[in-house]
Amino acid sequence: MLLLGLDPGLRNTGWGLVEAAGNRLRQVADGVVHSDQALSLAERLAQLHRGVAEIVARFAPDEAAVEETFVNRNPASTLKLGQARGAVLLAPALAGVPVAEYSPALVKKSLVGTGRADKIQVAAMVRLLLPGCLVGGGDAADALAVAICHAHHRATARRMAEAAS
């Protein structure tokens, strides 16, 4: 099962692909889609969408997972992040890839054990859980963390559904 994790941001959107086979996880690829700050908001959103759509077309993931938007003190920044998130969510959805969403706190808690972990702790756990992984930056590490979180939670949901039937 190939899982795409996405960490949306207007400047940088991290992405990471993880192959899940039972309880074993393996990093496939990761990176960052950048938008040009000199462009209009609409053009930047189009860049993000095209970049993620290219990743989806290239790797054909079975499922995707996106980190939810956190609300910060600046409403304008939160709104722009939400718009970037929408552009990112749309790419796998239009390709027919199921998309799950996870809060930042749940992603951190799933990997580190606490929802208040910092980026350094998350990146360290990504490297521990994906042996041999050379993460391409903080945004890519966060995206891989989202993919790992999805791998753990989708397996649990599947086992619960099987037990109920």
From residue 2, give the alpha-carbon distance in Å to each of 22, 47, 91, 147: 12, 24, 16, 9
CB 143 within 8 A of CB 6: yes
| Least reliable range by pLDDT among 20-29, 95-104, 133-142 | 133-142
Is residue 111's pLDDT more than 70?
Answer: yes
Active-site residue identified among 54, 62, 63, 139: 139
67 flagged as catalytic: yes
DSSP annotation of 113 reads: S
Please report, for the chain, the start and end positions of each structural domain, with discontinuous segments joined by +: 2-164
Active-site residue identified among 7, 30, 63, 142: 7
CB 8 within 8 A of CB 85: yes
Alpha helices in the chain (DSSP H): 41-59, 75-94, 104-112, 119-129, 138-164
pLDDT at position 154 = 87
Average pLDDT value for residue range 79-101: 96
Active-site residue identified among 30, 63, 67, 142: 67
Nearest alpha carbon to residue 67 among 131, 137, 2, 143: 143
pLDDT at position 71 = 67
Q: How many Å apart are CA 6 and CA 14, to the nearest integer? A: 6
Farthest-apart Cα atoms in the chain, separation: 54
**Fold designation for 2-164:** Nucleotidyltransferase; domain 5 (3.30.420)
More confident call, 72 vs 101: 101
- Token pair of 66 as six digits: 């996106």
Q: What is the pTM of this model?
A: 0.93
139 flagged as catalytic: yes
